[in-house]
Structure 1
Amino acid sequence: MTRISGRIVTPGGIVTGHLDLDGGTIAGIVPDDTAGDDVIVPGFIDLHCHGGGGHTFTTGDPAAARAAAAFHLAHGTTTMLASLVSSPFELMRSATLGFRPLVDEGVLAGIHFEGPYLSAVRCGAQNPQYLRDPVPAELTELIKVGEGAVRMMTVAPELVGALEAITYLRDAGVLAAIGHTDASYDQTHAGVAAGASVATHLFNGMRPPHHREPGPVVGLLSSTATVELIADNIHLHPGMLKFAAGSAGPARSILVTDAMDATGMPDGSYELGGQAVVVADRVARLSRDGSIAGSTLTMDVALRNAVAAGVSLTDAVTMASTTPARLLGLSDRGALAPGLRADIVVLTPDLTRKQVLQAGLPPAP
């Protein structure tokens, strides 16, 4: 039996005491006011990540994907999707086949395709040469060869055939997300009605709100969709993060990194989806037009930034772990409770990462 002591952030609130582990499972929580002031939270679940530690998911290389997942695991992300960017179909298919064994092994929880069925007007750092309207045959093939590995796809709902694609994804058990979109408020709600359940990095890559045309941001916040929030203090002002999290609530908000391979690496020149990226002072931008190109964020820092922005610790933990677990249908993790998998991050009182366990074990050196 392993015991971890401190302030345990549970679904019912914070309990000062001991978290008892039996192998890879949480065995119990024992209250004890003398247990110390470390903060114990469930392992983070990141639904939107393109890479880290100098390794990328976007080329479909399994070795690079394994290394990127290991980098983020060391920062507390015990479950993650591998996010690709807009690409030719051949790369999408080969990446699905290449990553499927990693999903079977549990290194990845699945694949997220951010594109290519996105708005050219709001493409952001997506490569415009690969953008296109949804192609039903491509969706069918990816889901077929993925055998359950394809877990999420971002689509702009205003595109020709987008609503049909969203419904197809939903019916196939794939999370349909709305993002990189110039949709109106009504078009956004039509996308949710068709089956979309996630907003890809709310605010970013979207038509800005206007009081006479609320657009996708207000459309998504006023819907049933769960909204992704990049808590790096670059994509979103802390005040906007707090506002969005308060508007949607922790059960409909998730923290994501949108991290690229430059995460954890020195400033310099990088690449994303065939486009040159320059990273300076933690900010990644496309060389061609200065668009923000992903982030250099890790989930431990995202949690700390959310709390600093005014989100309560319990709500921030829900957004970083519990809500994304529910979206993925992973009922065995995402919270600290007896019987769940022992995915655990121990933080210092100032929320700096101290220890990580995945199914009760530390990351491999």
Structure 2
Amino acid sequence: MRIGARYLWSDGRLCEQAVLKIEDGKVVSCGPRNGGPVDREVHLAMPACTDLQVNGGGGVMVNDAKGADGLRTIAAAHRALGTGWIMPTVITDAPEVLADAVEAAIETAGEPGLLGLHIEGPHLAERRRGTHATRYIRPLDRATVDHARALKAAGLQVIVTLAPELADPALLAELVDTGAVVSAGHSGADLPQARAAFDAGVTCVTHLFNAMDQMSSRAPGLLGAAIDSEVYCGIIADGLHVTPEMLRIALRGRPSTGLTFVVSDAMATVGGPDSFWLYGNEIRAVDGHLINAEGAFAGAHIDMVTSLANLLTFGIPLAQAIPMVTDIPRKVLGLPPQSICDGWSADDLLLLDAEMKPAA
């Protein structure tokens, strides 16, 4: 099959008018379109998305303790929506729930689509906990450091989101030394504390704007420090957690275009039923919102391809938007950009129409 693409994203570049030839489920050639017939026309061909913050999908939450099969269900739900690689995310919970998630991730090491584990909490600032349960919040402990070390030893990627201003400096240094990506989030850090965290090896910030103090002219806090720094920043592009105006302001304020990436922060409703249970409470998706009983956002009901479409609607250029859902998340983990070349699996190829929806 020959596929004609108006745009092709590969190896960190946006090319126009390309042709991909696919045989037996593999890309056997990819190059400029120099005439000749094609079997299918698409607007954009690109690698499937990479999402570093996936709490759930397909009716399952990582915290549901359904083991490796639960992680596989979540990954399959997101792959069906155009996301080929995920970091399953276990949120604040009892120590045994975190231990089970670590064990499940290690069991899936090397399986397609599952990159490792994002540990979001429990080492958070209580006043910035969002939907995370107060009863499970606790200071950074050696158990989490040991979990990160075990995950890395299994060849997995690791992200740990914590409030750096509350972490013991020695334990924080040990966590950084494991090779985990340490991300500041659910934090009340002020500007000096944020800068100190970045100097100590915190290289990322979790869902920019959300679960952190909002900046003012005399108190930029973690938010202002992050925007004005070289650290990576995740952001939710559903238009609800962050308005399009604030998203554009943040992108314009960054030192470069290669530092801000999209996360879905998806919950079990993505690719699944319209409700799920969290901490014994039912959470429902209503008009794109997920709200808990306290009125706080309970994650997001969005996938990465929809997020990409939103970025374009918000006025972000295509060449800037695509890497925010593909290459930059991989860069956060120290992985190279993906190149659609000979031998590339067609299952890892995302084909979109002009509305940024999967091409029929």
TM exceeding 0.5:
yes
Per-residue CA deviations over 1:142-169 (Å, capped at 9, x if unaligned) read 42266233510101011041x4344323
Q: Distance in 2 between matches of 1:107 and 1:254?
A: 18
Query: Match of 1:6?
Result: 5
CA distance in 1 between partners of 2:167 and 2:327 (Å): 35
Q: 1:153 aligns with which of 149, 160, 164?
A: 160
- Quick one: which amino acid aligns to residue 19 of structure 2? H
Please state if 1:229 is matched with 2:231: no
Residue type of the alignment partner of 1:43: A
Contact kept? 1:143, 1:150, Cα under 8 Å: no
Q: Per-residue deviation at 1:305?
A: 0.2
Distance 1:217 1:67 in 2: 34
Partner of 2:53: 48
* 3-state SS of 2:53 partner: coil
2:33 counterpart letter in structure 1: P
Measure the CA separation in 2 of the matches of 1:26 and 1:303: 27
Pairing 1:322–2:322 present: no
Aligned partners of 1:56 and 1:158: how far apart in 2? 28
Q: 1:160 to 1:175 in 2, by over 3 A?
A: closer
SS in structure 1 at match of 2:117: strand
Q: CA deviation at 1:13?
A: 2.6
Residue equivalent to 1:74: 80
Match of 1:90 in 2: 96
Determine whether 1:259 maps to 2:266: yes
User: Deviation digits for residues 69-128 of structure 1, max 9, x if unmatched?
Assistant: 101001111111000100122211121112222232234111000001110010001111
State the distance in 1 between where 2:178 and 2:282 align: 35
Alpha-carbon contact 1:45-1:78 (below 8 Å) kept? yes
- After superposition, the Cα gap between the structure-2 partners of 1:160 and 1:38, relative to the gap in structure 1 and judged at 3 Å, is closer
| Aligned-partner Cα distance in 2 for 1:253–1:211 | 23
The Cα of 1:42 is off from its aligned counterpart by 1.7
Give the TM-score normalised by structure 1: 0.89
The letter for the 2-side match of 1:5 is G
Are 1:213 and 2:225 matched, yes or no?
no
1:350 is matched with 355
Q: State the 1:191 CA deviation.
A: 1.0
Q: 1:285 aligns to what?
A: 291
Q: Deviations over 1:150-198 (max 9, x none)?
A: 510101011041x434432332111111100000011111111111111
- 8 Å CA contact 1:178–1:199 kept in 2: the answer is yes
Q: Does 1:295 align with 2:300?
A: yes
Partner SS state of residue 116, structure 1: coil
Q: Distance in 1 between matches of 2:262 and 2:339?
A: 15
Q: For residues 315 and 26 of structure 1, what CA distance do their matches in structure 2 show? A: 28
CA distance in 2, matches of 1:345, 1:60: 31
What's the % identity of the aligned pairs? 28
State the distance in 1 between where 2:57 and 2:351 align.
Answer: 21
Preserved contact between residue 118 and residue 179 of structure 1 (Cα < 8 Å): yes
**CA, structure 1 residues 25+329, in 2 after alignment: closer, same or farther (shift >3 Å)?**
farther
**Any stretches of 5+ residues in structure 2 without a counterpart?**
none
Q: CA deviation at 1:265?
A: 4.1
Q: Is the 8 A contact 2:148 2:178 kept in 1?
A: no
CA RMSD of aligned residues (A): 2.3
Partners of 2:190 and 2:284 lie apart in 1 by 32
- Matches of 1:262 and 1:164, distance apart in 2: 39
Give the Cα–Cα distance (whole angstroms) in 1 for the partners of residues 343 and 248 of structure 2.
32
Offset of 1:275 from its aligned partner?
4.3
> How far has the Cα of 1:21 moved from its partner?
5.0
- Give runs of aligned pairs for residues 193-212 of structure 1, distance below 5 A: 193-212=199-218
Distance 1:222 1:233, change over 3 A: same
Quote how far apart the aligned CAs of 1:278 are. Answer: 3.2
Segment of structure 1 superposing worse, 43-52 or 10-19: 10-19
Equivalent residues of 2:49, 2:325 under 8 A apart: yes
Q: Distance in 2 between matches of 1:235 and 1:260?
A: 14
Residue pair 1:127, 1:274 contacting (<8 A) in 2 also: no
Q: Cα distance 1:52–1:160, how it changes in 2: closer, same or farther (>3 A)?
A: closer
Q: 1:54: Cα distance to partner?
A: 1.2
Q: Deviations over 1:277-310 (max 9, x none)?
A: 23322210111x1100001100110000011101
Could you say which residue in structure 1 is the equivalent of 2:338?
334
TM norm structure 2: 0.90
Contact 1:118 1:132 in 2 (8 A): yes
* Contact kept? 2:51, 2:87, Cα under 8 Å: yes
| Residue in 1 that maps onto 2:20 | 19
CA spacing shift, 1:15–1:64, aligned 2, 3 Å: same
